[in-house]
Amino acid sequence: MKKDKKQKSTKEKVGLFKCIRVTVPFIIKSAPWLFVISCLVLLCQAFLESLQIYVLEDMFNGITELANGNTTVIAVMLAILLWAGLYMASVGLLYVTNYVDEKFGYTSANAQLIQCCEKMARLEPIIFENTDKLDDIEKATNGRDRSRDLLNIIKSLVLFTLPYLVIVSIYLIKREPLLVVAMVLIFAPTMVQQWAIKKLYTEKEDKQAPLRRKQGYYAECITDPKYYKETRLLGGYRFFIKNFRDLLTSLIKLDLKTGIKKELLFFCTTFISLTGRLVVYYMLFRFLMNGRISVGEFAAVFSSLGVLESQLHNLFYNTFSSVSEGLPYIENYVRFLNFPEMSGKEVDLGENIEIRLKDVKFAYPNQTGNALDGVSFDIKPKETVAIVGENGSGKSTLIKLITGYYKPSEGEVKLNGNDTRDTSFPSVAKRLSAVFQRYPHYAMTLRENLAIGDISKEPTDEALRKACAMSGFSPEEKWLPNGFDTMLSREFDDGVGLSGGQIQRIAIARAFYRNSSIIILDEPTAAIDPIEEARIYGRFAELSKDRTSFIVTHRLASVKIADRIIMMKEGKAVEMGTHDELMALDGEYKRMYDSQRQWYESNENASTDIEAEAVN
């Protein structure tokens, strides 16, 4: 199948207000008391800071009057002490704010992390096949942190900057209204430039996210124990590191390009505001000379202008620009939180599940052509079904649809009459166990590795031992020095390293440990030889007689034992029947069987052994 280039990514529009509506309440709810305390402290800070302008005026007027002999030293000292007290109090509050904010940040970051993990677990699985959505997920992680920054910005804007500006503006209007107008004029042009910054960062993020994902993958190929043996053997290290470096260069280039554009914008803004500041200083000087303001007012306004300017600077340059920069990331986060989740009603499918597929079609996202193209069949409870066909013929996709993991694009899949589209996946999963081509191997003990197969039941030694026996090993094997408590990874002290075959047996034992109605082996045996595969599948079929079982393979040595064989070709179920029926048909199955026959015949004795073992 080809990637569909025509298909455009249709991204949901989000915007600032939706970002606030979706993220802010959750963050506040994660630690409401800490939030309230930090708000109150911030408000106090705003008052303390802004009152300083009044106290400063008093202080300087006092000093002037003292020089003219109109007041006492004590009165001036008191004014100085009051100013110093206010200053100390606002510094003290700063420490309180930092402490409370740190605690609040930590608590809310954890709450959001858990929210994301839970969301990931609820996502509709097909999302993981969609590269656009994977990029969104990648970007969402970044947006999660930015959403907390956004709340901090809103908080300090509403509870600090605004009250401060209002109080100081009232002061200025009372003394000299022209000063307020001048202040506003200095910073107005910056507002206009903010949308440009947002656009700049949206574009950058859209280009960088796919590159970062690829880069992460190459890093994994180099460092992950899963790959590095092969990577070294093939000399692939150089290939991966070159790709990694190339991507890094592209990422840095994009960062630089955006950075330069942003700095240029800021340079222009700084120039405009510097001119404005000079105008304000000139006005202030003229007002003092004209006698429109007193020396105390001049000193108070002059010294407050620094604070006022840094507040406005902070508001326009840092606050607004960090919102503009962060918004595209937060929008991705919000989009991620809105991704479709697994839906459908909870049903109890019971022990005996009848599976019906009717003209099922399925296409992967962003691909042209169907991976399944009109598949229909019924499967009775407890049947042993082999799904066979060449690589890429649609076997694994068919399994994912039968189990309701993916929903059909057309047609229907019904489990005991329940359409998988309307049935919750966990209700099906409860009745299901499966080992796939790429089965995980957890860095935990053997006991935990098996128990995770069904966390709803108590992992007694008896139940675990039974599952191991079904998979053809016992906890007393030499390769398991501490029995069930053997740590199955060298990453930990006393851990053991396992061979591919041993890992696979554990994966199959885990599937058996679960009391499921349907059990699936989707070529977990692809890495081993056909005869060993036939041995495992033979035992599997025998032990799964009381459940519906699916054997998926492209090697036909192991499928004679199945009640029914479904031959897949190019997304279609082209032949169906027992081994003998399909051989008699003289079609695709026979052709494939004959092409592999040579292999089995030279191992004739071995396969007789297998059949004998399967029956025992």
Nearest residue to the partner Mg ion, using Cβ: 396
The stretch among 49-57, 265-273, 388-396, 443-451 that binds Mg ion (CB under 5 A) is 388-396
- Residues pairing with 568 in the sheet: 573
Could you tell me the smallest distance in angstroms from the CB atom of residue 430 to Mg ion?
A: 24
The stretch among 30-38, 275-283, 392-400, 488-496 that binds ligand ADP (CB under 6 A) is 392-400
Neighbours of 376 (CB within 10 A): 13
Residue 97 or residue 396: which is nearer to Mg ion going by CB? 396
Nearest to 100 by CA among 150, 43, 144, 145: 43
The stretch among 173-181, 205-213, 283-291, 363-371 that binds ligand ADP (CB under 6 A) is 363-371
Could you tell me the smallest distance in angstroms from the CB atom of residue 338 to ligand ADP?
A: 23
Say which residue the tokens 């393979």 belong to.
Answer: 553
Structure tokens at 305: 């202008």
For residues 533 and 437, is the Cβ–Cβ distance under 8 A?
Answer: no
Could you tell me the smallest distance in angstroms from the CB atom of residue 550 to Mg ion?
A: 12
**Sheet bearing 564-569, strands edge to edge:** 432-435, 518-522, 548-553, 384-388, 564-569, 572-577
How many chain residues interact with Mg ion (CB under 5 A)?
Answer: 2
| Separation of alpha carbons 517 and 470, rounded Å | 16
Where helices occur in 388-499 by DSSP H, the ranges are: 395-402, 425-429, 446-451, 461-470
Structure tokens at 366: 């962003």
For residues 42 and 160, is the Cβ–Cβ distance under 8 A?
Answer: yes
Could you tell me the smallest distance in angstroms from the CB atom of residue 372 to Mg ion?
A: 13
Structure tokens at 156: 């300090």
The stretch among 52-60, 108-116, 393-401, 503-511 that binds Mg ion (CB under 5 A) is 393-401
Residue 397 or residue 418: which is nearer to ligand ADP going by CB? 397
Could you tell me the smallest distance in angstroms from the CB atom of residue 1 to ligand ADP?
A: 5
Could you tell me the smallest distance in angstroms from the CB atom of residue 119 to ligand ADP?
A: 21
Candidate list 367, 502, 515, 578; residue touching ligand ADP; CB under 6 A: 367
Q: Label the pairing between strands 564-569 and 384-388.
A: parallel
Check binding of 392 to ligand ADP (CB under 6 A): yes
| Separation of alpha carbons 536 and 573, rounded Å | 25
The stretch among 62-70, 147-155, 304-312, 384-392 that binds ligand ADP (CB under 6 A) is 384-392
How many chain residues interact with ligand ADP (CB under 6 A)?
Answer: 13
Question: What is the residue-wise DSSP string for 5-25?
Answer: SSPPP-PPP-HHHHHHHHHHH
Binding mask 226-255 for ligand ADP (x = CB under 6 A): ------------------------------
Check binding of 389 to ligand ADP (CB under 6 A): yes
Mapped onto helix, strand or coil, the DSSP state of residue 369 is coil
Residues 396-435 that bind ligand ADP (CB under 6 A): 396-397
Check binding of 258 to ligand ADP (CB under 6 A): no
Could you tell me the smallest distance in angstroms from the CB atom of residue 577 to Mg ion?
A: 22
| Separation of alpha carbons 526 and 524, rounded Å | 6
Candidate list 62, 105, 143, 394; residue touching ligand ADP; CB under 6 A: 394
* Phi, psi dihedral angles at 453 (to 5 degrees): -65, -25
Instruction: Identify the helix (H) or strand (E) that includes residue 580.
Output: helix 579-585
| Separation of alpha carbons 398 and 395, rounded Å | 5
Q: What, of ligand ADP, Mg ion, none, does residue 1 touch, CB below 5 to 8 Å by kind?
A: ligand ADP
Structure tokens at 86: 């206010």
CA gyration radius for the chain?
35
Residue 22 or residue 371: which is nearer to ligand ADP going by CB? 371
Could you tell me the smallest distance in angstroms from the CB atom of residue 401 to Mg ion?
A: 13
Residue 330 or residue 520: which is nearer to Mg ion going by CB? 520
* Phi, psi dihedral angles at 166 (to 5 degrees): -65, -50
Candidate list 395, 430, 447, 547; residue touching ligand ADP; CB under 6 A: 395
Residues 104-163 that bind ligand ADP (CB under 6 A): 129
Residue 56 or residue 567: which is nearer to ligand ADP going by CB? 567
Residue 304 or residue 396: which is nearer to Mg ion going by CB? 396
Binding mask 520-559 for Mg ion (x = CB under 5 A): ----------------------------------------
Candidate list 30, 396, 516, 607; residue touching Mg ion; CB under 5 A: 396
Candidate list 68, 391, 598, 602; residue touching ligand ADP; CB under 6 A: 391
Could you tell me the smallest distance in angstroms from the CB atom of residue 437 to ligand ADP?
A: 8
Check binding of 393 to ligand ADP (CB under 6 A): yes
- Residues pairing with 576 in the sheet: 566
Q: What, of Mg ion, ligand ADP, none, does residue 381 touch, CB below 5 to 8 Å by kind?
A: none
Nearest to 226 by CA among 465, 555, 498: 498
Residue 103 or residue 569: which is nearer to ligand ADP going by CB? 569
For residues 497 and 412, is the Cβ–Cβ distance under 8 A?
Answer: no
Residue 270 or residue 437: which is nearer to ligand ADP going by CB? 437
| Separation of alpha carbons 227 and 221, rounded Å | 5
For residues 273 and 187, is the Cβ–Cβ distance under 8 A?
Answer: yes
Q: Is the dihedral of CA 74, 76, 82, 84 positive or negative?
A: negative
Residue 325 or residue 522: which is nearer to ligand ADP going by CB? 522
Could you tell me the smallest distance in angstroms from the CB atom of residue 402 to Mg ion?
A: 13
Check binding of 364 to ligand ADP (CB under 6 A): yes
Contacts of 326 (CB under 8 A, 6+ apart): 143, 146, 147, 149, 150
Check binding of 397 to Mg ion (CB under 5 A): no
* Phi, psi dihedral angles at 385 (to 5 degrees): -115, 130
Residue 112 or residue 370: which is nearer to ligand ADP going by CB? 370
Check binding of 1 to ligand ADP (CB under 6 A): yes
Residue 384 burial class via C-beta count within 10 angstroms: exposed 0-12, middle 13-18, buried 19 and up: buried
Write the single-letter amino acid at 378: D
The stretch among 90-98, 110-118, 390-398, 605-613 that binds ligand ADP (CB under 6 A) is 390-398
Nearest to 76 by CA among 61, 91, 90: 61
Residues making contact with Mg ion (CB under 5 A) = 395-396
Residues making contact with ligand ADP (CB under 6 A) = 1, 129, 364, 367, 371, 389, 391-397
